[in-house]
Structure 1
Amino acid sequence: MASAPDEFGGHISTELRINERIRVPEVRLVGPNGETVGIVPTDQALKLAQEADLDLVEIAPMGKPPVCKLMDYGKFKYENAQKARESRRNQTNVIIKEMKLRPKIDQHDYETKKGHVVRFLKAGDKVKITIMFRGREQHRPELGFRLLQKLAEDVQELGFVESSPKQDGRNMIMVLGPHKKKAEAKAEVKAAKQEAAAERDAEKAAEHAERTATQPSTQRKQKRANEALDPDIDL
């Protein structure tokens, strides 16, 4: 039976027994406000629960005797579900992107690869940088080390070296971590999108106002043209 720490230092089972499902002869009873009542017969504890319009809930079944608490079990389950949802909402999934480079990479390719690393770090993701050695390059690990150092320096405003360069067979690996957490990065992207949308709305409003301002003048010109063609027309 799975369990989790409870407020009394014990464990709350994920399959709690309540009321008549508690079949032990006596329990260590805890009141609704956390106060210790003491060891009482289970029948008496059930009677106290009924009188208080509460449930008798076994919160530490491994205790001797088991620990039970008087509580509103429906409310307890609801609050636990709310906490679980909040925890899942606040949980950040750590994603590790990977970028592979050659120790003798040319400048153009380096700038392209660096651009990807910058994008990953801005998004709040970690980046695993792998330098791949081939043939005689394996005897020149300093080439990979210098390249990793250069990359770390080039993106230091966005990330930091979380795992220093180390040799792994034919490869050399370094991990960069973002300064900003995933949630912060998402919030910034969302704010930027909202700002861009607000700017577009403002531009549309300005264009509409300009068209509205010029419309009466256009209508007056059309009216004069119609009168010139047929002076008897009552406009």
Structure 2
Amino acid sequence: MCLSPRVADEKFFRGGTISAEPRINDRIRVPEVRLVGPNGEQVGIVPIQKAMELAREADLDLVEVAPMARPPVAKLMDYGKFKYESAMKAREARRNQAQTIVKEMKLRPKIDPHDYETKKGHVVRFLKAGDKVKITIMFRGREQSRPELGYRLLQRLAEDVTELGFVEFAPRQDGRNMIMVLAPTKKKSEAMAEARAERAAKKDRDGESDAPEATETEVDTAPAE
């Protein structure tokens, strides 16, 4: 028994997976559509045969962009080019999508000035990259009776990097440790964009050819003695 196109479509959708692709050209099975021109101009409600004829004359595709409207909305476009540009935009969006990472830096309450500057340098680098930093002050022995030492150290660090980050989680005692979390003032995506721009500018200045980026070495987060 031969089924009408509409009945065939209904049987297919009940029993199979509905495609996310819009219907185009002769797959659009409605008597009329609200037609939109290639530049977004409103043509009006026209019979489907007329819309198909206009598409052929313009060497374009007729694409159903709003199937639930009454009547459905269809647009004249180069569907192949549209799909390619959409894929490129999605790819760029995924590439620019950034996930904030929480780095960790461990310090001792009586850290010496040189080690402090080294650790602070790592914190600055993390914040510039758009990452959060968990600062952990590790107390040992009698140091546990002097929590103010850790608090003052964390406060000093927060003040030293105030242009790059802010205190998201205030210092709090957690057993033998005191913890504070710094968050970057810039979003991860902004930091990545700036880093790419700096690399491009440096390449232009130095006239360097394209080369793979160096792999960042792991930061030593062992507490300073």
TM-score range, shorter chain: 0.5 to 0.7
Match of 1:231 in 2: none
Match of 1:117 in 2: 123
Equivalent position to 1:185, from 169, 189, 195 = 195
Residues 125-162 of structure 1: CA distance to partner in whole angstroms, max 9, x if unpaired?
A: 323123256689788665444322211222345x1216
Residues 94 and 125 in structure 1, CA contact (< 8 A), matched pair in contact too = no
Residues 127 and 133 in structure 2, CA contact (< 8 A), matched pair in contact too = no
Number of matched residues?
183
Q: Which runs of 5+ in 1 are unaligned?
A: 1-12, 199-235
Match of 1:93, SS state, is coil
| Aligned counterparts of 1:196 and 1:45: Cα–Cα separation in 2 | 56
Equivalent position to 2:103, from 76, 98, 104 = 98
Q: Please state which structure has a larger fraction of its residues in helix.
A: 1
**Cα 1:67–1:25 shift into 2, 3 Å:** same
**Cα 1:130–1:51 shift into 2, 3 Å:** same
Q: Which amino acid aligns with 2:134?
A: I
| Aligned counterparts of 2:66 and 2:149: Cα–Cα separation in 1 | 60
Equivalent position to 1:25, from 24, 31, 37 = 31
Equivalent position to 1:129, from 113, 129, 134 = 134
**Cα 1:190–1:52 shift into 2, 3 Å:** closer
Deviation at 1:76, TM superposition (A): 2.1
Percent pairwise identity:
55
Q: Which runs of 5+ in 2 are unaligned?
A: 1-18, 209-225
Deviation at 1:69, TM superposition (A): 0.6
1:66 aligns with 2:72: yes
**Cα 1:186–1:52 shift into 2, 3 Å:** closer
Match of 1:174 in 2: 181
Residues 97 and 128 in structure 1, CA contact (< 8 A), matched pair in contact too = yes
**TM-score, normalised to structure 2's length?**
0.62
Superposition CA RMSD, Å? 3.5
Deviation at 1:59, TM superposition (A): 0.9
| Aligned counterparts of 1:141 and 1:20: Cα–Cα separation in 2 | 76
| Aligned counterparts of 2:94 and 2:169: Cα–Cα separation in 1 | 31
Deviation at 1:192, TM superposition (A): 4.8
Residues 172 and 179 in structure 2, CA contact (< 8 A), matched pair in contact too = yes
Deviation at 1:77, TM superposition (A): 2.4
Match of 2:45 in 1: 39
Residues 32 and 46 in structure 2, CA contact (< 8 A), matched pair in contact too = yes
**Cα 1:168–1:59 shift into 2, 3 Å:** farther
Match of 1:32, SS state, is coil
Over alpha carbons, which structure has the higher Rg?
Answer: 1
Equivalent residue runs for 1:2-17 within 5 Å: 15-17=21-23
